[in-house]
Structure 1
Amino acid sequence: MSESVSVRCPVCRREHLYAVPSYPCECGAPVRPPVDRHGAPTAVAHQVWDESWVAVECAVCGRRADWPQPELGCGCGALLRIPVAGDTCPDTEPDGDPPAPPRRAFQPITIRTARDAVTAAALYLRWLGYQDIRRADQRPPSGIGLAARGLLAQVDPTVRPASPRDVECLWLTAMTESAHCVYFSLAGYTTEARTRADSLGVPLFVLDLTGTPQPVNGLADELGAAGG
């Protein structure tokens, strides 16, 4: 059963009932950010990627992972950041990785907003084995760029199918960083974009509204089967 907390907007003083989201740990247990019931929400003036995530420890297996910072949109237009209890700053990369357990089925989140699309792609990359996911240093011409060790990803949440130029820009940026690359799109790809991706070696995924990345080309099939 979902946990709910009462939240008052600091701008208009309107009361809301916020349902704390649940996310799937790699062990299969549900993980919820520990919302501070006594803390006051703050209105977000500017979204900062590093402040949009909190590190939460799974109560079952003890694994610590980054999940989206609890936020709520008020009817007055303010975006409210819900305070989280305890030490929840995102972890730095550990010196050594623990042994990897058998990989469970990917558990998606429903896509309702552009941010949900980025979160779904980040969760999928983490499921593939990339743990140090962050906002890419270089902003792509369209969409949002994500980066991990040895990987550059582009998430396009627009309603326009990705073009050959979009694929080429991602590939060129990845080449300059000596990294592999992968493309996620909500609206799919033009035929020319698919052909160009195959020639450049770029895996293509379409994000359906359930938040599950669907492979578009053989390279994406191979990536999903082999993991990161």
Structure 2
Amino acid sequence: MSETMAVRCPECGREHQYAAPAYPCACGTPVAPPLNRRAAPVCVTHRTWDEDWVTVRCGSCGRADQWPHPELGCSCGTVLRVPVTAAAQPSGAGGGDPAEPPVEAPAASRATFQPVTIRTARDAVTAVALYLRWLGYKDIRRADQRQPHGIGLAARGVLVQVHPLVQPAAPRDVECLWLTAMAESCDCVCFTLAGYTDDARDRADGLGVALFVLDLTGTPQPVNAAAVELVATGAGT
């Protein structure tokens, strides 16, 4: 069970009892960021990728992964970033991440995916990042190249578009993602909340782009053969 601590809003003075959400490690153990009781919460006024994610180490297997930084919405409208204690760097670690075990490719070896409820565009990005990690991808980050619509993520060997808009993704969205991925010599995957037009699905099938639809529980559903194959095989080694 996640630890609970009192968090006081610096804007209105209200006090909240807060418990950090737990996420499943690759070994299946629920992992929650350790809360820092000595530090004060910070009001979120703008967002960056580095501040929105925090490194947390699993107490069972020792694996260190990045998870969404705990946040609390106060009733006054202020969003608070709850302080946490960062994971210690493994001894002898230099560049890279030598403490991480190899990625497990077979689908049967993965624990059941635990989704996060989607209420905002940021929730959709968080859900996709967690799903990519569940599939076995590493080094998940914001993509360097912007897409015409949606939010770009990247990991080792893959470029991802998260399309949190209310309109179905169009063929141009699929084509732009595929062209950018081809330039970087990597695979590409698209996630949307509103689905795809028939032309977009046909174009994706012709280009081999994996398509997923996100429901509001945060669970991605494959909608073409490339996506079904990705779920079955995972990210590979």
Separation (CA, whole Å) in 1 of partners of 2:150 and 2:142: 12
**Residue identity opposite 1:129 in structure 2:** G
Residues 1:126 and 2:133 are matched in the alignment: yes
Q: CA deviation at 1:48?
A: 0.1
1:43 maps to 43
Count the aligned residue pairs. Answer: 227
Q: CA deviation at 1:98?
A: 2.4
From 93, 98, 121, the equivalent of 2:101 is 98
1:141 maps to 148
Separation (CA, whole Å) in 1 of partners of 2:27 and 2:87: 22
Separation (CA, whole Å) in 1 of partners of 2:2 and 2:99: 35
Residues 1:11 and 2:20 are matched in the alignment: no
Q: Specify whether residues 96 and 27 from structure 1 end up closer, same or farther in structure 2 by C-alpha distance, changes over 3 A only.
A: closer
Question: Secondary structure of 2:54's match?
Answer: strand
User: Residues 10-52 of structure 1, C-alpha deviation per residue, up to 9 Å, x if partnerless?
Assistant: 1222222223111111111111100112210011221001211
Unaligned runs of 5+ in 2: none
Q: CA deviation at 1:88?
A: 6.4
Contact 2:161 2:177 in 1 (8 A): yes
Q: CA deviation at 1:80?
A: 0.9
Contact 2:169 2:196 in 1 (8 A): yes
User: Residues 112-150 of structure 1, C-alpha deviation per residue, up to 9 Å, x if partnerless?
Assistant: 222121111111111111111001112222221100122
2:121 maps to 114
Separation (CA, whole Å) in 1 of partners of 2:173 and 2:28: 35
2:186 maps to 179
1:83 maps to 83
Residues 1:168 and 2:171 are matched in the alignment: no
Separation (CA, whole Å) in 1 of partners of 2:155 and 2:135: 11
Question: Secondary structure of 1:35's match?
Answer: coil
Unaligned runs of 5+ in 1: none
From 193, 213, 228, the equivalent of 1:221 is 228
**Residue identity opposite 1:66 in structure 2:** Q
RMSD of the TM alignment (CA)?
A: 1.9
